[in-house]
Structure 1
Amino acid sequence: MNKRILILSSMMVGIGFHLVAQDKKLPNIVFILADDLGYGDLSYLNEKGKIKTPNLDRMAENGVVFNDAHSSSAVSTPSRYGILTGRYNWRSTLKNGVLGWYDKPLIAGDRTTMASMLRNQGYHTACIGKWHLGMNFPTKDGEKPVDTPDAYNLDFSKEITGGPCDVGFEYFFGVDAPNYPPYCFIENRHTMGMPDFYYPLSKEMDSRPGRGLANWKMEEILPALEEKAVTYITQAASNEDPFFLYIPLTSPHTPIVPTDEFADQSKLNKYADFVMQSDAVVGNIMKALADNNIADNTIIVFTSDNGCSPQADFKLLAEKGHNPSYIFRGMKSDLFEGGHHIPCIVSWPSEINHHRVDQTISLIDFMATFACITGYELSDDEAEDSYNILPLLIQADYKPKIREATVYHSIRGDFTICKGDWKLLLSPSSGGWSFPKPGNDDELIKTLPSIQLYNMKDDPAETNNVYAEYPEIVNELKALMTKYVKEGRSTPGIPQKNDGPEVWRQLSWMK
């Protein structure tokens, strides 16, 4: 299929770019989302890192590396919602935390997603990996799913609805989450096999109780996803239409289960071994694209849904000289940079050359970017927080700021907003699992200022709260955050409504 694609020319018109049309086949898009991978876990990004990631290093050496990329949330479900909708996660009905096992779908059926948008543009769309955005799991009595040793009402002879195949993906293979039941693969709208064997809670695997297939092996999940992705690429390469392949990996999230091939390969711990296995998966996906002669006109995005989890064992890794959060404070779940400052590399050999970008971007920006590349015109109720970052990909020295400001969110639903060098945390605590931790350090938190302001240029480790010295900056950022909440968007356009209540607990600072 020969379509017309908008490519940014190198000629400047005023302070912007001139868009020109060229006859060219639309690029394939492969979006690889690691799970709980820290910025400092890539050897290309961390000069002191102890984990070797040669395939991602090679991708970085030939692609665009974003030094200041962020997930919209510091935890899984909301971050994935933001990527696929181009909308801040807290605009959904989920105001804090993540979805649990057997929870209802978070993405509304009428919401435009990255997949439905690209499908509209002629792409074949597939999701292979971890979903974690909820599904309608069928039950025998029509009631809420029950899965205990003594009670069970799920009926997997029926279709599972509300998942990937109902929000724009034509094909799905994967799991809801690797540590959630049902412990089996799901293909499209059905489980592969009948999950009727009960597994108790496992602290070792960080897995929840529930049913699955007998003899289900956690360490076989990632290799199966890799094999399915490679097979999909090989089959899609022979088709005329372009494809969009979303690959949300199950690694290096718990259960941390590297295969025998990668056991002790890092000489650090199992988490580091699992990171190395994840790197190998990316290498094999890139090889599949090259083997099928489609690498040049395929966009690959590699990133992570949030920062590194404490399950990686920060203390042990630190003793061996490795910090998954690099120079940043905090970890997965936090308002601090370690929670949401993530690796992000983009490869598109036929169109972009290697360079590094210092501008702040959010993972929600890829929806508007793909819309621009494929000629899709976003309406006011689509991708309300997504900015087109194509200029940053195409031109190494592009100077105009693309984002006005960027919002991040913690597991508790607390907010932080960053504009330029300034970052305002609308909370006295980490908002997550690191010190000062709500629920653990509450007496100390009561003595702290209710807000935090950091100059990220001078203080990237967020050690010096200067809120009292710059009240005008505090007021400016708080007013901008209020505007973003009330208008239901942060991009230009007609104001929209947030899902759920107009005011919720974590907006107490707006008073």
Structure 2
Amino acid sequence: MRPDKQTGLGRPVHRNPASRRWRGASTARAIFSVFAAAALVPLAVASEATAADKTISRPNIVIVLADDLGYGDVQAYNPQSRIPTPHLNALANSGLTFLDAHTPSAVCTPTRYGLLTGRYCWRTRLKRGVLNGYGEPLIERDRMTIADFLTDAGYVCGVVGKWHLGLGFVRDESGTIDYGRRITDGPAEHGFAYSYIIPASLDFPPYVFIQNNRVTTLPTLRQKAQKFPRFVRQGPRAPDFRFEDCLDRLTDQAVGFIQRQARSGKPFFLYFALTAPHKPVWPHPRFRGRTALGPYADFVVQVDATVGRVLEALQAAGATDQTLVIFTSDNGSYMYRLSAGARDHVDDPTVQGYRPEHHRANGPLRGTKADIWEGGHRVPFIVRWPGHVTAGERTDATICLTDVFATVADILQRPLPDGAAPDGFSFRSVLQGRPSEFHRPPVIHHSVAGMFAIRDGRWKLVLGNGSGGREKPRGQPFTRPYPLFDMQTDLAETRDLSEQHKDIVERLESLCERIRQADGTRTVFPGRNTVRGPSNTPDR
């Protein structure tokens, strides 16, 4: 997209219509329906809809994606936590808290791909690991994103924060990046009219800000490598890129986008991808020492305050009641659970872990970020939408971040174009207080090393013999024995029941393979975009 001089927003980049396979399916605008918490309210004639009806039928949407925030880092999930998270607690009290929400991967890049496309990343060229700051674009040019979909629905879409999906940097004949040239493949090519991002995680160079596909300040400095907690890799850095100020700067941009779009009167979508509490653990000076639990805990406090600023911006703009807010994380925390007596992050900030009496970053869950265990991919997920989502409720419905795209489409009552969100299923009925109508097909979990697991109802089967990540033994994908866990009675994954339930192991292994070999989960479970009716898998 090319930026408009007055608004800073992009104008659509013109393409050959045939290059986007969904365009023919989305040229006509759907007539939107308004749904309230108790019932759907039909619109007799679209032209007679009031301005208020139109606002409700097309809510603003804000997704805040924390970076490496664990299940136990939020007090709403871990009441024993000594890390204060008042803004997230308030969000949970005013919204719906999902207790069984999962990322499609246990690490950064694949989860972001899944969130934006509704498709598992392991279906792409990236089968394991993550991209670095110089990685080639991962989202295919003909792959519809949630931002593309919402742009077609009349939304103004913006992204602020960590991109980590590859960028089309222009290189000269020697392969050197020309930071003065416009990036050829970035957020603008995937539906975002406005973008203010960093290339990847905060510990990956190049350390630059990129606004609407252009680097804001050339990276003329050389950043030296540093160790944990302020872990960063060496590489080029712009003079105005200061690690401790990064999250504040990005938050300023997110708040500015909300303010501008609220004044415009058009519905907007903001995807705000935080850079914390991912390494480098580098909270702003005003947060240091706030917890007496080390810099990681202080950084979590800053994350909470950042969410507070976003919510305050919505309130100040008069947009709270018209905005659907989703808060979640891209995977579990990287902080290890250490044994009694071991020196931990409180004793020494250079130690990457806590003793349980100080903090459990992943709550009761086994493992950490990168693992196939629950600690790698079960994350906080809170939804607030005044007047539509009952405040203060909790649900044990099993969902995946790939479901967000399909859910948004269902809320807008716009059909998903062919090929869009192939691994996503709408949980709108859960939001509306009808969880008994939601029976999601199995969720596929994936670790940093390519380990798979399948979750169907109460059962989780790991298709490998270890964590597939950081916890030892790491094991190997598709190497037996395959452990089976009952997630209703054994959240910590301590009891392997595979010998007692060989029929379930066989069924889940076969089903996982069918989903892996298909173009999408919805091809294995046709007609299940909005999931209603009983599951066809009996042993729940």
TM-score (norm 2): 0.84
In 2: Cα distance, 1:362 partner to 1:103 partner: 25
Q: Deviations over 1:15-60 (max 9, x none)?
A: xxx6844733110000000000001000111021121100000000
Query: Are residues 1:70 and 2:107 paired?
Result: no
Query: Are residues 1:469 and 2:497 paired?
Result: no
Compare 303-312 and 128-137 and name the one that shifted more: 303-312
Query: Are residues 1:155 and 2:183 paired?
Result: no
Per the TM alignment, residue 485 of structure 1 is displaced from its structure 2 partner at its CA by 1.4
Please name the residue that 1:291 is paired with.
Answer: 316
Per the TM alignment, residue 91 of structure 1 is displaced from its structure 2 partner at its CA by 1.0
In 2: Cα distance, 1:161 partner to 1:266 partner: 43
Per the TM alignment, residue 3 of structure 1 is displaced from its structure 2 partner at its CA by 7.1
In 2: Cα distance, 1:216 partner to 1:359 partner: 41
The question of whether the paired residues in 1 share the 8 Å contact of 2:335 and 2:354 is answered with no
Please name the residue that 2:536 is paired with.
Answer: none
In 2: Cα distance, 1:228 partner to 1:316 partner: 32
Per the TM alignment, residue 6 of structure 1 is displaced from its structure 2 partner at its CA by 4.3
Please name the residue that 1:230 is paired with.
Answer: 255
> Match of 2:72, SS?
helix
> Match of 1:39, SS?
coil
> Match of 1:399, SS?
helix
Per the TM alignment, residue 436 of structure 1 is displaced from its structure 2 partner at its CA by 1.5
- 1:365 equivalent among 360, 380, 403: 403
In 2: Cα distance, 1:214 partner to 1:376 partner: 45
> Match of 1:482, SS?
helix
Give unmatched runs, 5+ long, in structure 1. Answer: 12-17, 145-152, 496-511
Per the TM alignment, residue 476 of structure 1 is displaced from its structure 2 partner at its CA by 0.8
Per the TM alignment, residue 459 of structure 1 is displaced from its structure 2 partner at its CA by 1.0
Query: Are residues 1:135 and 2:167 paired?
Result: yes
- 2:488 equivalent among 457, 461, 464: 457
Q: Deviations over 1:125-151 (max 9, x none)?
A: 00000000000111121x64xxxxxxx
In 2: Cα distance, 1:353 partner to 1:361 partner: 18
- 2:412 equivalent among 354, 374, 391: 374
Q: Deviations over 1:204-259 (max 9, x none)?
A: 43222221213631001000011111111111111121000000000000111111
Per the TM alignment, residue 379 of structure 1 is displaced from its structure 2 partner at its CA by 2.6
Query: Are residues 1:482 and 2:513 paired?
Result: yes
- 1:7 equivalent among 8, 23, 35: 35
- 1:179 equivalent among 199, 203, 213: 203
Distance 1:263 1:9, change over 3 A: closer
Q: Deviations over 1:480-507 (max 9, x none)?
A: 1111112221125799xxxxxxxxxxxx
In 2: Cα distance, 1:417 partner to 1:368 partner: 20
- 1:278 equivalent among 287, 293, 303: 303
In 2: Cα distance, 1:157 partner to 1:216 partner: 16
Q: Percent identity?
A: 38
Distance 1:426 1:196, change over 3 A: same
CA-atom RMSD, angstroms? 2.3
In 1: Cα distance, 2:448 partner to 2:355 partner: 24
TM-score (norm 1): 0.88
State how 1:68-467 maps to structure 2 within 5 Å: 68-141=100-173, 144=175, 153-177=176-200, 178-204=202-228, 205-214=230-239, 216-310=241-335, 313=345, 316-318=353-355, 320-354=357-391, 355-395=393-433, 397-438=434-475, 449-467=480-498
Equivalenced residues, count: 473
Per the TM alignment, residue 196 of structure 1 is displaced from its structure 2 partner at its CA by 2.1
In 1: Cα distance, 2:245 partner to 2:336 partner: 20
In 1: Cα distance, 2:510 partner to 2:222 partner: 51
The question of whether the paired residues in 1 share the 8 Å contact of 2:30 and 2:414 is answered with no
**Alignment-mate amino acid for residue 140 of structure 2:** A
**Alignment-mate amino acid for residue 477 of structure 1:** L
Per the TM alignment, residue 121 of structure 1 is displaced from its structure 2 partner at its CA by 0.3
The question of whether the paired residues in 2 share the 8 Å contact of 1:2 and 1:24 is answered with no
In 1: Cα distance, 2:30 partner to 2:422 partner: 30
In 1: Cα distance, 2:353 partner to 2:413 partner: 49
Distance 1:2 1:96, change over 3 A: closer
Per the TM alignment, residue 200 of structure 1 is displaced from its structure 2 partner at its CA by 3.0
Distance 1:329 1:387, change over 3 A: same
